[in-house]
Amino acid sequence: MNFIDVNGVRLHYRFDGAEELPVVVLSNSLGTDLTMWDPQIEELTKYFRVLRYDTRGHGASDVPAGPYSIDQLGQDVVGLLDGLGIELAHFAGVSMGGMTGMWLALNAPERLGKLALCNTAAFIGPREIWDTRISAVQNSGMGPISEGVIARWFTESYVQQGPEEVEQVKKVFLETAADGYAAACAAVRDMDERDTVENITVPTLVISSKDDLATPPRDGQYLTGQIEGARYVELEGSHLSNIETSKEFTKALVDFLRGIA
């Protein structure tokens, strides 16, 4: 396992792929870790050196006291790139990871080649929902909310099929530090870039899913309409589309990053 100290936080990261290939950074969603991207690694590493990391408060990374902010999460990525000597990288993020990507595109665009915003939004409200979730986790841990979260992340038909991927995601969720999850919830709750995403100039792909209740297609369509030249892809499935519709998601992402679609 590889670790690096960034902004006073010890981040866990992993490289896959040949060193001479261009780098793509993958950022996890709230309540997951870098293993969420496993379905994409085989195809991505044919063309890219993949850098995955666990967002602060998640996986094997440190769990500093919260609340966190999207500014902190974005600065963590800049620090990660600096510490690893990477001047330029593509970036793809799901949900919270996509929100981090928006911050990077607005505040450090010179570090990005292309940007993929997946099942995410410039604002995910209302605030009261996040406050309730934060309180629930702080009081009772991750267990009581796990079934509801899984129901939002995957369609019922996919869950009923009983794929190993769902059980793995649920396991990671339950093992996520409650304090880290609650602190990251605050970062998502407080981000509102609806009036600024129009300033993104990095070439952008937006991926949404038809049955995504957390960030429905209208959120992705809004981003596409605001970001000049953005491409939009709408998949079947729900919130974690890179898992539920992994084949279609991977093709859309790889084709975009390679410039062939």
What is the tally of structural domains in the chain?
1
**54: domain CATH number?**
3.40.50.1820
- Three-state SS string across 137-205, please? HHHHCCHHHHHHHHHHHCCHHHHHCCCHHHHHHHHHHHHCCHHHHHHHHHHHHHCECCCCHHHCCCCEE
* In contact, 50 and 26? CB cutoff 8 Å: yes
* pLDDT score of 47: 98
User: Between 1 and 93, whose confidence is greater?
Assistant: 93
The per-residue pLDDT for range 124-142, each reduced to its tens digit, is 989 999 999 999 999 999 9
* pLDDT score of 260: 87
* In contact, 59 and 178? CB cutoff 8 Å: no
* Banded model confidence at residue 213, pLDDT cuts 50, 70, 90: very high
Of the chain, the percentage scoring pLDDT greater than 90 comes to 97
Tell me which residue range forms the domain holding 26.
2-258
- Three-state SS string across 57-75, please? CCCCCCCCCCCCCHHHHHH
What is the pLDDT averaged over residues 217-224? 98
